[in-house]
Amino acid sequence: MAEWWFMEPDAFHAFIRELGERFMLYAPARRDGIVTFTFVENHEDVELSKRPFTSPKAAFLPQTEVLLKFSLRGERVHLSPAQRPESPIAVVGIRPCEAGALKLLDPVFSSPPEDVHYTLRRENALLVGFACTSPERWCFCTSLGSSPFDEDGLDVLLVEVSGGYCALAVTERGRRALEVVRDMLRKADEALLGEIEERRRQAERAMKTLDVERFIARLEDMGDDPIWEEIAARCIGCGICTYLCPTCYCFDIQDEAGLTSGRRVRVWDSCMYPEYTLEASGHNPRPKRVHRVKNRIYHKFRWYVDLFGLVGCVGCGRCAEHCPVNVDIKEIISEVVRR
């Protein structure tokens, strides 16, 4: 079934509803006028029209997660491990770049010792992707080896076409998921295939290509370049770029406890915060914004390459789109390459 299938809006809703029966649905949904990725109870809340400001990484690495619970009775301490997920997760509406981002998180959490909190969710998940027919101006996935219709890493790829959606089963798991609504699907005809192709071309044409390879090479001897001071001078050191980034994964672990019981939680953390590296002695190896800004860029574009042979950025552009002081990664790449 490695071919395109057409589904009318009804069939699409039936598909989502059926997924909801077997999976925990994680999808873009509108809440108080804002579209965010969230666990949805009602399949009708799923809204694919707008890319959420958050990335779907939280399905696998929740912003707040209980690692273990404990009870305290004097010298007696009892630990209870975190609960295992009950049903697998289906992420609906994940964009190709975001599926690519999960492939970047995988080596971090699966390398020994395996982080089962992440890997258990990830192993059984179904990724129903949504092709980007109109990429945002901040996007540059084509500069990072991906594209708005990239199927890699997905189980199913959906493309919006006139009158509904076309679905492509990318994996066996995806094929089985579509099988459930088989009766409501019809094979995409020549006209639809042509439309998909045209939309793909349009989306790809809309994106400028940046020379990321050269950027990475240039970073080698740019550790002391004034550009980092220039960027850091306006950075307010908030967590937006890292929290909205689909590939950032840094976390903190803290205890939250009363007198006799409590829990140990993992929460997202950000390398842009000074407290992130501040030691109890008061010593801070990255005391200034310039150190932190540089660390973020170098981590993604050099050290990730050193560690895993992969670039730690997928070009979704969220960090730039939502930065309150317009730190724009595309501009940084162009500027460094231009020099």
Partner 1 sequence: MKDSPYLPRLARIEEIRVETVGRRPIKTFRVSLKDGGTFTFAPGQCVMVSVMGVGEAIFAVSSPPKGDGYIEFSVMKLGRVTSALHRAEVGETLGIRGPYGRPFPVEEWRGRDLLIIGGGIGAAPLRSLIGYVLSHREEYGSLTVLYGARSSRDLCYREEMRAWAERNDVSLHLTIDRPEEGWDGLVGMVPDVLREMKPSPENTVAVTCGPPIMIKFVMEALADMGFPPEDIYTTLERRMKCGIGKCGRCNIGPLYVCKDGPVFSYAEILKVSRNAGGGGVL
Partner 2 sequence: MIDEGRMREVARDLLASGEVDCVIGYARGSVWYRARPVAISDPDKVDMLIFNPFCMQNLATWLKFEMKENGGLQGKYGVVAKGCTARALIQMMQENGISTDDVYTIGVPCPGMVDPRKLGDDVLAMEDARVTLAGERVVVEGERRKVFSRDDVLHETCLLCRYPTPPLYDVLIGEGIEGRPAEDKNLAHLESLPAEERAKYWEDAFSRCIRCYACRNACPLCYCDGCALECLDPQWVYRSVEVSENTLYHLIRAYHLTGRCVECGSCEFSCPADVPLMELNRKMARDVERMFNYVPGMDPKAKPLLGAYDPRDPEGFIL
Stretch that binds partner 2, among 27-35, 39-47, 124-132, 179-187 (CB under 8 A): 27-35
The CA distance from 319 to 307, in Å, is 23
Applying the rule CB under 8 A, the residues between 176 and 235 that interact with partner 1 are 219-220, 222-223
Name the phi and psi angles at 301, rounded to 5: -100, -10
Q: Which does 299 bind (CB under 5 to 8 A by kind): partner 1, partner 2, none?
A: partner 1
Choice between 109 and 276, CB closer to partner 2:
276
Does 41 engage in binding with partner 2 (CB under 8 A)? no
3-class SS at 230?
helix
Secondary structure of 286-316 in HEC code, one letter for each residue: CCCHHHHHHHHHHHHHHHHHHHHCCCCCCCC
Four-point Cα dihedral 280, 300, 252, 271, nearest 10? 50
The CA distance from 128 to 145, in Å, is 20
Does 68 engage in binding with partner 2 (CB under 8 A)? no
Q: Which does 227 bind (CB under 5 to 8 A by kind): partner 1, partner 2, none?
A: none
Torsional sign, CA 218, 221, 222, 225: negative
Evaluate whether 228 touches 290 at the Cβ level (below 8 Å). Answer: yes
Which parts of this chain interact with partner 1 (CB under 8 A)?
Answer: 67-68, 70, 72, 75-77, 79, 81-82, 84, 108-109, 111, 113-117, 219-220, 222-223, 249-255, 257, 262, 264, 266, 269, 271, 276-281, 283-288, 291, 294-295, 298-299, 302-303, 306-307
Which parts of this chain interact with partner 2 (CB under 8 A)?
Answer: 31-34, 36, 53-54, 63-64, 137, 233-234, 236-240, 243-244, 252, 254, 256, 265, 267-268, 270, 273, 275, 287-289, 320, 322, 324-326, 328, 330-331
